[in-house]
Structure 1
Amino acid sequence: MDELFQFFKAFYPISPAAQEAITAISTEISMARNKDLQPIGHSCKTIYFLKKGIARIYYYKDGIDVTESFEFEHSIVARVESLFSGRPSRKGIQIVEDAELIAIDANKLFKLYDAFPEIERLFRKIFEAAHVNLVNRLESLQFHTAEERYNDLIKESPEILQRVPLKHIASYLGITQVSLSRIRAKR
């Protein structure tokens, strides 16, 4: 749990009592690669912290597997639109590389907000940062070329080429694997 609380500290420090309350509603789990952490069509009721490994959020459009995002070690992964609405998600979370995670029961977490306003503030800051990242991702797709998006991805996550299948990287960039090969050949 130390890694989780170190992650939290970067957003907003919480008291030992709040840490204990979060620990009480959390479970450490392991998951093998290529398994769905949350399948498409299910409601998100858990917030995950990735201690080790990689996850991706994906969906299908016209029968094609599309990667929306990647999450690496020391990050939170959840289907936020489903988490807050309670509706089943049209997206899933798949483990790309064997993973160790901390699963936080979202319903119990939200109940802690009244007893621990610091927990509510912490998660508000985490969700705000995630929202900013999403807006940046959308703007990248709107305003940058595929090559610029590739270069940005490699700059942010240089190890991604060794850890993630190229088909998922191409999908994330919004291009075909052939186009990705051309971009990579230029480097």
Structure 2
Amino acid sequence: MNLSQLHFLFRFFDNFQPLSDAAALAFSEICHVLELEKNKDLQPIGHTCRTIYFVDKGLARIYYYKDGVDITESFSFEGTLIARVESLFTGRPSQKAIQTLQPSRFIGINAAQLFKLYDEFHEVERLFRKIFEAAYVETVNRIEGIQFHTAEERYSALLADSPDLLKQIPLKYIASYLGITQVSLSRIRAKMG
């Protein structure tokens, strides 16, 4: 891929660790662009994750079904990565899917080729270690949010993080992400004005 097409992705990397020109060039060769319409599965349930995606434009979510109910695990906004890491690292099919919530453009990063780059460019390995560490901390914070905070507090935090983008997400997905019913979410929103 052309390096100029990866500008937004490399700006994201700079938050963790910039790459040298040689590493950036090698990295660009393992990337591809994928565009999807709204409400399409980027990766379906039962698929083994072999690609890490950067949301270059748009919005996506990871979801699964529990007792026939659609549950949203996470949202990925523009300028973030999305992958089903439990499948990526184990090589087993995932019980979760990735779906677009608006027309979206992704930069796909071939994971097998990425892991090979680790040996050639230790800065790439360090970069992704830092990215995965940050994602782990975010997951722990989310679990602790569910354990220690009310649904109203969790909604307020989500609203503070992404106020404009939340307007583009159907309430049923926000409610399932917060672990509450859509009726409860409506009450919280009414109370908050």
Q: Sort the TM-score into its range (normalised by shorter chain).
A: over 0.9
Select 1:3's aligned residue among 8, 17, 20: 8
Select 1:114's aligned residue among 99, 116, 119: 119
Aligned equivalents of 2:21, 2:86: Cα separation in 1: 30
Aligned equivalents of 1:98, 1:131: Cα separation in 2: 28
Report what 2:20 is aligned to: 15
Structure 1 length as normaliser, TM-score?
A: 0.98
- Give me the CA root mean square deviation: 0.7
Select 1:186's aligned residue among 182, 187, 191: 191
Report how far residue 28 of structure 1 moved. 1.2
Aligned equivalents of 2:148, 2:99: Cα separation in 1: 28
SS at match of 1:90: coil
Aligned equivalents of 1:100, 1:160: Cα separation in 2: 16
Report how far residue 82 of structure 1 moved. 0.6
| Counterpart AA for 1:36 | D
Structure 2: 5+ residue stretches without partners: 1-5
User: Is 1:75–2:80 an aligned residue pair?
Assistant: yes
Aligned equivalents of 1:149, 1:163: Cα separation in 2: 18
Report how far residue 159 of structure 1 moved. 1.4
* Residues 87-126 of structure 1 aligned to structure 2 (within 5 Å): 87-126=92-131
| Counterpart AA for 2:145 | S
Per-residue displacement from partner, 1:105-147 (whole Å, max 9, x unpaired)? Answer: 0001101110001000000000000000000000001111111
Aligned equivalents of 1:156, 1:63: Cα separation in 2: 30
Report what 2:154 is aligned to: 149
Report how far residue 161 of structure 1 moved. 3.3
Structure 2 length as normaliser, TM-score?
A: 0.95
Moved over 2 A (4+): none
Report what 2:3 is aligned to: none
SS at match of 2:135: helix
Aligned equivalents of 1:67, 1:90: Cα separation in 2: 12
Select 1:85's aligned residue among 81, 90, 109: 90
User: Is 1:138–2:143 an aligned residue pair?
Assistant: yes
Number of residue pairs matched by the alignment = 187
Aligned equivalents of 1:169, 1:109: Cα separation in 2: 33
Report how far residue 180 of structure 1 moved. 0.5
SS at match of 1:87: coil
Report how far residue 13 of structure 1 moved. 1.1
Report what 1:168 is aligned to: 173
SS at match of 1:30: strand
Report what 1:47 is aligned to: 52
Report how far residue 160 of structure 1 moved. 3.2
Aligned equivalents of 2:121, 2:76: Cα separation in 1: 28
Per-residue displacement from partner, 1:12-35 (whole Å, max 9, x unpaired)? Answer: 111011111111010011111100
Aligned equivalents of 1:160, 1:114: Cα separation in 2: 38
| Counterpart AA for 1:186 | K
Percent identity, aligned pairs only, is 63
